[in-house]
Homo-oligomer: A and B are copies of this chain.
């Protein structure tokens, strides 16, 4: 996972502060995985300490409260999402290739089981959608950010002349987001082996139906 990979790329040093940072990253890499399976509320300092063979007081030195641990875990999951979904997709040219890349990379991220429990943010969304507080607010802000990225990609594809101008960009963003989230649901809950192939075929058919002749060919 990216968090672990980042930690191992850091220069070796004996300074306590650097060791503390590496420990923090290792703790959070494990926390992301646990939260994707048991939920963010299933992430207790006690259970995490047991799994990492650390003392609870050692963990509390890094995170003063459960909420602080939840927020830090969400930030690591967001960085993984950015490094494995948004960044590779944005390296593709603006327009249809970038829009397709955003959805396809998201499907790949969950398909290759970067998170043990499926899509971290779909699970966190449904866990916290009726709760109030800073954890809910942070998840909602990250999800708004994601919908803005998707909507902007549609609008860029329209400016590039790849998608017909009459298409409602927000509506299209929510439509393909829903289909992808439905695939995570079917794959993780129903063990549906066809879920990702089906979602790709639905999204590609939709994108082809609104593509102009100037659009680069889709896969």
A-to-B contact residues, CB < 8 Å: 36-39, 41-42, 116-118, 122-123, 125-131, 139-140, 143-144, 147, 170-171, 174-175, 177-183, 185-186, 188-190, 195, 198-199, 201-202, 209
A129 touches B123 (CB 8 A): yes
CA distance A174 to B171 in the complex (A): 18
Q: A39-B41, A41-B42, A179-B179 are in contact. Are A130 and B118 (CB under 8 A)?
A: yes
Q: How far is the CA of A123 from the CA of B126 in the complex (A)?
A: 5
In the assembled complex, how far is the CB of residue A83 from the closest CB belonging to chain B, in whole angstroms? 23
14 A–B pairs (Cβ distance < 8 Å), ordered by A: A36-B130, A37-B131, A41-B42, A117-B129, A118-B129, A123-B127, A126-B188, A126-B189, A140-B190, A171-B198, A175-B179, A175-B202, A178-B179, A178-B182
Q: Give 5 closest A-B pairs by Cβ, nearest first.
A: A178-B182, A117-B130, A129-B188, A129-B189, A126-B126
Is A182 touching B189 in the complex (CB atoms < 8 A)?
Answer: no
**Closest chain B residue to A175, Cβ basis:** B202
Q: Contact between B182 and A182 (Cβ–Cβ < 8 Å)?
A: yes
Q: Give the complex CA separation of A116 and B189 in angstroms.
A: 23
A170: which B residues are within 8 A, CB to CB? 198
List B contacts of A171 (CB < 8 A). 198, 201-202
Contacts of A195 in B (CB 8 A): 174
Q: Which residue from B37, B127, B130, B179 sits with its C-beta under 8 Å from A130?
A: B37
CB distance from A112 to the nearest CB of B (A): 16
Return A182 CB to nearest CB of chain B, in Å.
Answer: 3
Contact status of A126 and B130, CB under 8 A, knowing A182-B181, A202-B174: no
Query: In the complex, what residues of B have CB within 8 A of residue A123's CB?
Result: 126-127, 129
* Contact call A190/B41, Cβ cutoff below 8 A: no
State in angstroms the CA–CA spacing of A186 and B173 once bound together: 12
CB-CB nearest in chain B for A201: B171
B contact residues around A37 at 8 Å (CB): 130-131
In whole angstroms, what is the CA distance A48 to B61 when docked? Answer: 34
Q: Tell whether, in the assembled complex, residue A130 and residue B116 are in contact, meaning their CB atoms are under 8 Å apart.
A: yes
Which of A36, A175, A195 gathers the greatest number of chain B CB atoms within 10 Å? A175
